[in-house]
């Protein structure tokens, strides 16, 4: 049984977030999102230095990221939603705001 427990700001200064999972009774932390780089949540946030005012530009950047990183989702961990690649792809690059409930539903967490 796998369960997503929480997602918080990362303790690793090179990453944006830490996701905490319970996997078969054991706790696991996965850090994801490179600190200092833009993502779809940031380019949609008017208060972010990465904000892009034109929706077409935002969607173009998102589509380029998703094309480049689609192959990352083919690893066993990412197929289960338990890799940094899947966390970044689905939480930082799919919707304008991090949608944890959609992520949990997608991976049955």
pLDDT of residue 99: 94
Sign of CA dihedral 92, 95, 97, 99: negative
> What backbone torsions phi and psi does residue 94 show, to the nearest 5 degrees?
-110, -45
Asked if 8 contacts 29 with a C-beta cutoff of 8 angstroms, the reply is no
What are the tokens at 38? 């833009």
Q: Is pTM beyond 0.85 here? A: yes
Place of tokens 């009774």: 25
The tens digit of pLDDT for each residue in 17-75 reads 999 999 999 999 999 999 999 999 999 999 999 999 999 999 999 999 999 999 999 99
| pLDDT, average across residues 70-98 | 96
- pLDDT greater than 90 at residue 91: yes
Confidence of residue 1 (pLDDT cuts 50, 70, 90): confident
């Amino acid at each position: 049984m796998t369960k997503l427990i929480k997602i918080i700001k990362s303790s690793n200064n090179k990453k944006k977030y830490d996701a905490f999972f319970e996997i078969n009774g054991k706790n696991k932390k996965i850090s994801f999102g490179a600190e200092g780089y833009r993502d779809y949540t940031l380019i949609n946030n008017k208060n972010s230095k990465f904000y892009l005012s034109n929706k077409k530009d935002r969607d173009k950047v998102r589509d380029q990221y998703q094309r480049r990183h689609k192959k990352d989702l083919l690893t066993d961990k990412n197929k289960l939603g338990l890799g940094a690649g899947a966390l970044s792809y689905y939480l930082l690059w799919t919707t304008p705001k991090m949608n944890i409930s959609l992520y949990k539903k997608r991976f049955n967490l």
